[in-house]
Structure 1
């Protein structure tokens, strides 16, 4: 169960909003009275979202396109009158490969979405943010510890941490906070263990977490809401691991 916060009168732009942590966080934010700008390439994935009364709006967006990002942010500001928070959740998960087996296309896919997308979205929203606003970026426990075969993914997630800490210093004087949520093994549709079934989920949880289970998307969403809320008004440049005590 997500923690209770009130975001009445606030607009949150969420990328990667059509699935997984992005969709769950958007729904939890909506239940906390936020207005959501739902951004994703896969707009069909947002059909389960309650769009009644126009309180939330959908935008088809490729976060790797500078022009598309700029146009979408302008549209969100026009439609909602402003942006109070940005949740950069669009990302691509890794495929384990030795570096010699990776391709330029794989590098582009991972780095462009995970890092360039975060950069482009952040750059585009900054002129529209005021004191009290916040940005939460999604890294991973792979942003602080390396894994063989994940060199490109590690690069992208370490990069998000460094980028976010720099932006926290740059925007802090304007009272705009930038923080990072770093999930561990989470029960998402794209999690390899989830795809393999209940036994794989149990084994992964036992092996990866001190709590003996994998986490839920709602448990990540709760941390995102906290980081955006006034309860975290002096939290800036932080990386919050949500991993149950990763082993």
Structure 2
């Protein structure tokens, strides 16, 4: 894939201010996309992502929306519409990356109704309506990429609700592929494994034993990095992946094989 394979494409990406989202945003920016950095609270982090993209010759801007609330998708698109003309001559979009998600660790017996509703609102409902309300902006031949998890295919009782949301997201992806195929729009999930990000810092960072164990779970024998996921997303966003749709692409390094 060429280094500017996404030249001129417009790509809103949710949850971009840190971790995997930041890596995805910066990679798409390096490949030439105009990146809309959607974030919930940390303006400083999101602005830092935009600055890094611009330093590398790319184009990017921030849009703030807190997902998991009624009307979140409409608010995201309103914020996007208010700025897009300043950054791209055409108002349409080419790529949607639903990366924002809540990682909830709770067993069946301890999970509360409030926690259940929150994780499904952020991980399932928000992507659903972001896509639904974004379709009239998406040009034919576009790309929808949903960030899923290997928890969708593995029994992980300690993350039962989180895994269930990612299974739902994968089902959503397959249905999008069928529904939008006539427009040449592809839809794929990228199922991440254990990645060394802030969300895992509490039990991974500074704990050599935990890092070694996490790495041993993967067939490739190491802990995942944010770039491992971002590079797959960039491929799926490119024309090279035009014949891949409805797939759940394993990005776990082979966990559970």
Q: When the two structures are superposed, what TM-score results if normalisation uses the length of structure 1? A: 0.91
1:162 to 161, 171, 175: 171
Query: Which residue of 2 is the match for residue 89 of structure 1?
Result: 99
Structure 1 residues 77 and 175: alpha-carbon distance in aligned structure 2, compared to 1, 3 A threshold: farther
Please identify, of 66-75 and 116-125, the stretch whose mean Cα deviation from structure 2 is larger: 66-75
Please identify, of 127-136 and 143-152, the stretch whose mean Cα deviation from structure 2 is larger: 143-152
Deviation at 1:5, TM superposition (A): 5.0
Please identify, of 168-177 and 101-110, the stretch whose mean Cα deviation from structure 2 is larger: 101-110
Partners of 1:194 and 1:105 lie apart in 2 by 27
Query: Which residue of 1 is the match for residue 7 of structure 2?
Result: 8
Q: How does 1:64-83 map to 2 (within 5 A)?
A: 64=68, 65-75=72-82, 77-79=84-86, 80=88, 81-83=91-93
- Quick check: 1:141–1:241 contact (8 Å CA) kept in 2? yes
- Quick check: 1:164–1:178 contact (8 Å CA) kept in 2? yes
Count of matched residue pairs: 244
What stretches of structure 1 of length at least 5 have no aligned partner? none
| CA offsets 1:85-144 (integer angstroms, 9 cap, x no match) | 01100001121x322211122112211100011112111111111221101001100112
Deviation at 1:75, TM superposition (A): 3.0
Q: How does 1:167-206 map to 2 (within 5 A)?
A: 167-191=176-200, 192-206=202-216
Q: When the two structures are superposed, what TM-score results if normalisation uses the length of structure 2? A: 0.88
Deviation at 1:73, TM superposition (A): 4.2
Partners of 1:187 and 1:134 lie apart in 2 by 26
| CA offsets 1:34-76 (integer angstroms, 9 cap, x no match) | 1110001122222322445992110111233243134234335
Partners of 1:235 and 1:165 lie apart in 2 by 11
Whether 1:148 aligns to 2:157 is: yes
Q: How does 1:28-39 map to 2 (within 5 A)?
A: 28-39=27-38
Partners of 1:60 and 1:33 lie apart in 2 by 22
Partners of 1:3 and 1:198 lie apart in 2 by 37
Whether 1:46 aligns to 2:50 is: no
Structure 1 residues 196 and 88: alpha-carbon distance in aligned structure 2, compared to 1, 3 A threshold: same
- Quick check: 2:14–2:97 contact (8 Å CA) kept in 1? yes
1:119 to 115, 122, 128: 128
Deviation at 1:19, TM superposition (A): 0.9
